[in-house]
Amino acid sequence: MNSDKTGMHGVWSNRWTFILAATGSAVGLGNIWKFPYITGENGGGAFVLVYLVCILAAGIPVMMAEVLLGRKGRMSPINTMRQMTDEQNAPRFFRSIGWMGAVSGFFILSFYSVIAGWTLAYVVKMASGIFDGADAELAGNEFGGMLGSPGLLLLLHTLFMILTGIVISRGVHKGLENGVRLMMPLLFMMLILLFGYALTTPGFGAAIAFLFTLDFSKLSTTSVVVALGHSFFTLSLGMGAIMAYGAYMPKQASLGRTVLAVGFLDTLVALVAGVVVFSVVFSNGLEPGAGPGLMFQTLPVAFAALPAGDLIGTVFFVLVAVAAWSSAISIAEPAVAWSVEKGISRFKGTLVVCGLSWLLGLGTVLSFNEWSEVTLFGKTFFGTLDFLTSNILLPLGGILIAVFVGWFMSREAIGTEARIQSPVLFGLWMFMLRYVSPVAVGLIFINGLLP
Ligand code: PHE
Ligand code: NA
């Protein structure tokens, strides 16, 4: 019924552009801001190991399934899932993958934009030179001062949401492609430079030990849920972002290799960011479990120690902001693409999606100051949204995607779309999708969420 809508949003120029765009979606605040601080909060090495296992056992197989659905459907996730369930005679219940994803997108974008706003502030702070010769105390005070000002946070949140809206409203080709093409390689170069600096710090050894020494006594069941949730969050899975991007992927590109490339790059960025952040933490006697402020309290100290640190720091925060930008675009794309298919103009669709997320974001703004004492089950407004999306909605979406492709799609339909040459690799992927990913996610869910 929706066949007239297939492909209406355009197609990436080639396989590389899809890799770039999907990497643009994947690499973002999740890698540079969130991964280090949740690793710090969850005790280090054992958490990192569980996270890596989740990426391999659930993340990569589900990502392949999600790209496959998108490329086959060629529409927004909501309409793609409607068509796929009809085509495959699967229960209509699986349509919820599309709807639930759009809702998750609203929630995620609302707080993502607030945190991304902080990186905008740090561009200005860095450029102004206030971090010249900064120590950990000064960096901590600067961060605390920023959080204490709801007006400033609101302004930054608004600014970032407008930037996001501008690119989304311009559409896939003009908007999305150009942004990531230049910025992604630059971000990698900056991270390598920071890694070089980390190598010279006294805390480097402690950082490596913290990240890679396995101490399972530090691992709680909640930590395992957080690691699983983060593996979906960081790969942009379970809510349709990667499905929407898959819809714009050329038919001939190899699914497996493309997805592995994205997964590898995303993991690499997270690990390098982790090493840099914890080198500064341990060189300055800081707390690994400092929470969401960790990146903002450590990196300025690193830049202060570097020659031309103000300049490098400014460029770095510009790049983090751009990485967040290219992720934010993909968070909104499923809902916007759907509204376009409904006959609403891309501009209006963007206005509604970004507007609603902006409104919800006010709660996150306030949760760092006025409402910091207002909690639900011990979590602030931001903490609740973060938990609800990463630890519940995204894994749930992922499990449904795995079960749908693994159990309800015909092998023939999967085979012709995925075109995986090796029968062994194809079999392995199917095995992961049918058994390993759903069982692992299910067990972690049941264990971690039940009291
Ligand atoms: N993967 C992004 C990051 O790591 C966040 C994201 C989540 C993007 C969900 C799209 C969908 O920052
Ligand atoms: Na990521």
**Does any ligand 1 atom lie closer than 6 A to the CB of residue 327?**
yes
Say if residues 267 and 235 touch (Cβ distance below 8 Å): no
Distance 409 CA to ligand 2 centre (A): 28
241 close to ligand 1 (CB < 6 Angstrom): yes
Residue minimizing CA distance to atom 8 of ligand 1: 236
Produce one character per residue of 311-338: b if its CB has 16 or more CB atoms within 10 Å, e if not.
ebbbbbbbbbbbbbbbbbbbbbbbbbbb
Which pLDDT does position 1 carry in this prediction?
38
Please check whether residue 379 is in contact with residue 135, taking contact to mean a CB–CB distance below 8 angstroms.
no
Q: Sorting pLDDT into bands at 50, 70 and 90, what band is 128?
A: very high
Query: Residue 30: CB within 6 Å of ligand 1?
Result: yes
The pLDDT value given to residue 252: 75
> Considering only CA atoms, which residue is closest to atom 7 of ligand 1?
236
Nearest to 351 by CA among 169, 184, 179, 194: 169
Q: Which ligand gives the minimal distance to the CA of 327?
A: 1
Single-letter amino acid code for the residue at 262: V
Report CA(71)–ligand 2 centroid distance (Å).
Answer: 21
Q: Chain centroid to CA 9: how far?
A: 23
Q: What is the mean pLDDT of the chain?
A: 92
Ligand 1 near 384 CB (within 6 A): no
**Which CB contacts under 8 angstroms, 24+ apart, belong to 154-159?**
154/362, 154/365, 155/117, 156/114, 156/117, 156/118, 156/120, 156/121, 157/113, 157/114, 157/117, 157/358, 157/361, 157/362, 157/364, 157/365, 158/117, 158/358, 159/117, 159/120
pLDDT of residue 11: 67
d(CA 362, CA 96): 27
Round to whole Å and give the CA distance between 205 and 212: 11
If we measure between CA atoms, which residue out of 401, 316, 341 comes closest to residue 95? 401
What is the CA angle 445-32-275, rounded to 5?
A: 100
CA distance 277 to 282: 9
User: Whats the size of the chain, residue-wise?
Assistant: 451
Nearest atom in ligand 1 to 323's CA: 12
pLDDT at position 129:
95
Could you tell me the distance, in angstroms and rounded to a whole number, from the CA of residue 278 to the centre of ligand 2? Answer: 18
Ligand 1 centroid to 342 CA: how many Å?
A: 25
Nearest to 263 by CA among 115, 118, 56: 56
Residue 3: pLDDT above 50?
Answer: no
Q: What are the structure tokens assigned to 40, written together? A: 């710090």
- Answer for the pair 279, 204: CB distance below 8 angstroms, yes or no: yes
- From 109, 242, 331, mutation site for ligand 1 pocket: most ligand atoms within 8 A of C-beta: 331
Q: How many helices (H) and strands (E) does the chain have?
A: 22, 0
Q: Using CA atoms, how far apart are residues 12 and 24, in angstroms rounded to an integer?
A: 13
For 137: left if phi > 0, alpha if psi spans -120 to 50, otherwise beta; the answer is alpha
Instruction: Report the separation in Å between the CA atom of 21 and the middle of ligand 2, taken as the mean of its atom positions.
Output: 12
Instruction: Give the mutation target among 34, 35, 63, 234 for probing the ligand 1 site: most ligand atoms within 8 A of CB.
Output: 234
Q: Which atom of ligand 1 lies closest to the CA of 235?
A: 1
Confidence band, pLDDT 50/70/90 cuts, at residue 2? very low
The domain limits of the chain are 3-361+388-449
Task: Report the complex ipTM.
Answer: 0.99
226-252 per-position pLDDT tens digit: 999 999 999 999 999 999 988 877 777
Q: Which atom of ligand 1 is nearest to the CA of 31?
A: 4
29 lines ligand 1 (CB under 6 A): yes
Find the mean pLDDT for residues 106-110: 98
Nearest CA to ligand 1 atom 11: 236
Q: Which of 118-127, 169-178, 212-221 has the highest mean pLDDT?
A: 118-127
Minimal-distance CA residue to ligand 1 atom 9: 236
Half-sphere exposure of 82 toward its Cβ, with a 13 Å CA cutoff?
Answer: 13
**Residues lying with their CB under 5 A of ligand 2, a single-atom ion:** 26, 30-31, 234, 266
Contact of 5 with 267, CB cutoff 8 Å? no
SS3 43: coil
- In the predicted model, what is the mean pLDDT of residues 364-369? 98
Residue 9 has pLDDT above 70, yes or no: yes
Phi, psi of 376 (to 5 degrees): -125, 120
* Gap from CA of 228 to ligand 2 centroid (Å): 13
Phi and psi at residue 379, to the nearest 5°: -115, 140
Cβ of 243 less than 6 Å from ligand 1: no
Q: What is the CATH number of domain 3-361+388-449?
A: 1.10.4160
Q: Is residue 2 classed exposed, middle or buried when 0-12, 13-18 and 19+ CB atoms within 10 A define those classes?
A: middle
Q: Which residues pair with 379 in a beta bridge?
A: 376
Q: What is the DSSP string of 95-139?
A: GHHHHHHHHHHHHHHHHHHHHHHHHHHHHHHHHHTTTTT--HHHH
